[in-house]
Amino acid sequence: MAETDLAGRVDDRREQLLAAADRVVRREGSAAAMNVIAAEAGITKPILYRHFGDKGGLYRALAERHINDLLLRLRAALTTRGGLRARTRATVDAYLASIEEEPQVYRFLVERAAVEEPGVRGQVEGFVRRFGEELAAGIRSEPELAAGPAAVDPGRAVVWAHAIAGMVQAAGDWWLDHPEVPRQSVVDELTALLWDGFSGTATDASTRQGLR
């Protein structure tokens, strides 16, 4: 019981330190420094390192926290009712909304942590792959794409999904430096581009079926 209580206290303290690091990152973005994070938590840098091993350990823990939150938002968007277009729009919007709500966190992860710490870069790349895999599963099971002459085969779904994931990430990176462009405008353009691709494929498939 004592060991369990000790482990619980260590986990709680770790979460408190992560919360302090989050506050600094939200304020300062890629300029967030370890001494400032330690001061925010009311401790010294050696104590901060004791909980995370080193700076890279803290960066990886922060990346995991935010990547998991973003994946939860994207999974919820993929279940949006109203058809394929509504789900497409909701998913794009969920990604861009996360950037808009916490631009400094995004900058920190992409511009600082991923550059300094290879493990974080791997986590960010892994997130895009996981996003693509979940998109592929969604495309394969999408009623509007899963049956009839326009049915999408599994191989095509995987290609589409990873291309979409990369495109949305790239558009988000660009938009971070162009906040003058309204989020809904970016969402509208990406949704229109994706929807034209989906509907165009369906039309081509139907035409080919009719010529047989």
Question: What is the number of residues in the chain?
Answer: 212
Q: What is the pLDDT of residues 64-78, one digit of tens each?
A: 989 999 999 999 998
What's residue 144's pLDDT?
Answer: 64
* CATH of the domain spanning 1-53, picked from 3.40.50, 2.30.30, 1.10.10, 2.60.40: 1.10.10
Q: Are 45 and 38 in contact (CB under 8 A)?
A: yes
Tell me the pLDDT band of 101, cut-offs 50, 70 and 90. very high
104 Cβ neighbours under 8 A, 6+ residues apart: 25, 26, 27, 28, 29, 30
**Mapping DSSP to helix (H, G, I), strand (E, B) and coil, where does residue 152 land?**
coil
CATH superfamily, with its number, for domain 58-211: Tetracycline Repressor, domain 2 (1.10.357.10)
Within 103-175, strands assigned E span none
Mean pLDDT computed over 35-58: 91
Q: How confident is the model at residue 111 (pLDDT cuts 50, 70, 90)?
A: confident
What pLDDT score does 3 carry?
A: 58
Is residue 169 within 8 A of residue 128, CB to CB? The reply is yes
Delimit the domains of the chain by residue range.
1-53, 58-211
Q: Is 182 in a helix, a strand, or coil?
A: coil
Alpha carbons 93 and 170: distance in angstroms, whole number: 14
> Three-state DSSP class for 153?
coil
Full-prediction pTM beyond 0.75? yes
**Which position has the higher pLDDT, 180 or 211?**
180
Average pLDDT over residues 103-120: 89
Tell me which DSSP letter residue 102 carries. -
Give residue-wise pLDDT tens across range 137-189: 888 777 666 555 455 677 888 898 899 999 999 999 999 999 999 999 999 99
